[in-house]
Chain A
Amino acid sequence: MKVIQIDKNDWNRGIDASRKAYHLFGPVTDNNQSMFKQLAPDQYPDMEKPDTIMSPKSVLFPQTEKLLGATLDPTAENHHIMERPETDYSPRAVIGIRPYDARAVALVKLNFDTPEYRDPYWCDAYAATTFVGLAVNQPSVTDFSTAMGSGPFAEEGLDALLVDAGDLYLAKVLTPKGEAFFSAAGFDTVADTDESLEKIEQLKNKAETAMGPLAVFTDKLAQKSILDLHGAPFWEDLAFTCINCGTCTFVCPTCWCFDIQDETKGNSAARFRNWDTCMSPLFTKHGSGHNPRGEKTQRVRQRFMHKLKYFLDKYDSGTMCVGCGRCVEKCPVNIDIRQVCNKMNSYEPQK
């Protein structure tokens, strides 16, 4: 384990140096929305405000992405033959991603990189990306990441972890990709390993203590039966206030559901995929009109069952929630996944 020491006065210089080798993405505020975006040549990641409203999932999975294109001009030799457009997959680095968001990338990978099919768009973007995380020294009140397999200093899915230690960052180098990024940035001052790891541990303990004791429990979810939970009586009450706005799914770093739509402009056809949401009644409506999840209660149940039970049963990799707290904070009617999780975890069907 190598730890690099970065004087904050040198930070912008290193960021500029790294631009020669990487497209940079980082937390920025744009139209009053804090989100991860590709940085302009003169823009720096806002390391003071990395708790973005929108997660960095769009770096690998854009909200709208062109999958295929074709010419419809009948005189062209290749007319109506769909091909993948040229996309720049040169190295990119996500600076300041929070540990819970990095765990989300690792979970989403289970969907897009499977033994049967590989989503080439997501996988190519993933292969090109270096994740330089920033530990959470002061967790927000809605951060429950420690309960969901992550935590303020967790390292899963990261190539490097920056820890804000006052005037400097202590950077844990976790993978060769992380090593290459610091090399490109010119950050090469190796810190005293024992001393810096001790400092990091102190900050970690302080952050975890500030989060308080675990209040969200998942330990019994695996033993529950899908049918028992699906038939539980609490879904109607939970869904009562839901307005199916879909905000929870859009701000969620692990929600990956998408729609595919075609567009035609002149003689040019394109196929796009767009983020979609299980909160929409159209999401599952058949061409015949039959809709297996036509009622909002069924859709609310689907969202929580997918995250907290189906995913867990399918992949044995914990729940599909990393505890970032965005959906709790942004839900306009105060539906709280922490309460739902505890209800599901403690549910015992009536005999």
Chain B
Amino acid sequence: MDNPYRPYPVRIDEIEIATEDKSLKTFKFVFLNEEDGEKFSHRAGQFAELSIPGKGEIPIGIASSPTEKGFVKFTVFKTGVVTSYLHNMKVGDIMGIRGPLGNSYPWDKLEGKNLVIIGGGFAFTTLRASIVYMLDPANRSKFGKIDVVYGARSPGMLLYRDELFEWERRDDINMHITVDGTDDPTWGYNVGFVPTIVEQKAPKASPETYAIVCGPPIMIKFTQPALEKLGYGDEQIIMSLENRMKCGIGMCGRCNIGKELVCKDGPVFTLKELNRTPREY
């Protein structure tokens, strides 16, 4: 990015309502200029700023995998001015994407390891990118066992349902889908908060196993002791944080935790790194 504040122009190619309450939509974007698409080369775990001229920008985790070519996807929760406007936009509308931004999950270090992927709510987006990346035929052999614990408030709030149940049927990945609660008698999966299911279903720690955690602050707070009970060390717990951001490139000064900037030095940190910083996230 010559000018890191200038978004690449993109066109909305598809919009999918992701949850039953319609508060989440998945947007598929294509770049107006092919060369911009080539420059936008991301790693799973990174985020980008979705940019609507005249309305503003929002930092959102990239939901598509680097192995999915020709487009980029984001799942957006309708919560504020920009996201509400975006939810009302149509296929064919022009807007902008700025990024990719931040670090990513440490893929070089994770190759050859077993992974436990833990996600809650709509923070599952970058974890979806990671799972698709690891399950790609070109990559699957690079990783050992893969366990996924993913929870939402209710069955209707689960993201990427088709893919979740497709992964559930595969024998090279262990899915532990859960909901906080449900009155659906046909629900055949777990009921309980993510940290509880982690404690019950996630594999015990080994030197070859790493846990990746992404979710709301409260979920992160209670998942950490659950993993520690299973024997995971501080370097084996990898977390993706969310802090309020504006610039996304480490300059506006609002997303720091200690001397680290979540947008540039993160959003991915090991618990060992976080233990050296004030808990301001």
Contact = CB atoms under 8 A, between A and B. Distances in A.
Contacts of A230: 258, 278
B193 to A, nearest CB: 17
Given A72-B54, A226-B258, A80 B9 contact: yes
A310 B1 CA distance: 27
Interface string B241-261: 011101101111111111100
Contacts of A72: 53-54
A171 B4 CA distance: 39
B113 interface: no
Interface string B1-34: 1111111010000000000000000000000100
Interface string A270-300: 1101001010000111111010110000100
B280 A293 contact: yes
23 contacts: A68-B5, A80-B9, A80-B96, A81-B94, A82-B7, A82-B51, A82-B96, A117-B249, A119-B4, A120-B2, A226-B259, A230-B258, A259-B246, A259-B252, A260-B247, A262-B56, A269-B53, A269-B54, A276-B252, A284-B244, A292-B257, A292-B281, A298-B280
Given A259-B252, A284-B254, A68 B6 contact: yes
Interface residues of B, number: 49
B264 A116 contact: yes
A310 B56 contact: no
A84 B252 contact: no
A226 B277 contact: yes
Interface of B: 1-7, 9, 32, 51-58, 77, 79-80, 83, 93-96, 216-217, 242-244, 246-247, 249-259, 264, 276-278, 280-281
B250 A114 contact: yes
A257 B252 contact: yes
Nearest to A312: B259
Contacts of A119: 4-5, 251
Given A68-B6, A80-B53, A292 B94 contact: no
A271 B276 contact: no
A287 B278 contact: no
Given A120-B3, A310-B258, A286 B96 contact: no
Interface string A249-260: 000000011111
A133 B172 CA distance: 68
Nearest to A229: B278
A227 interface: yes
Nearest to A309: B259
A119 B1 CA distance: 11
A278 B244 CA distance: 12
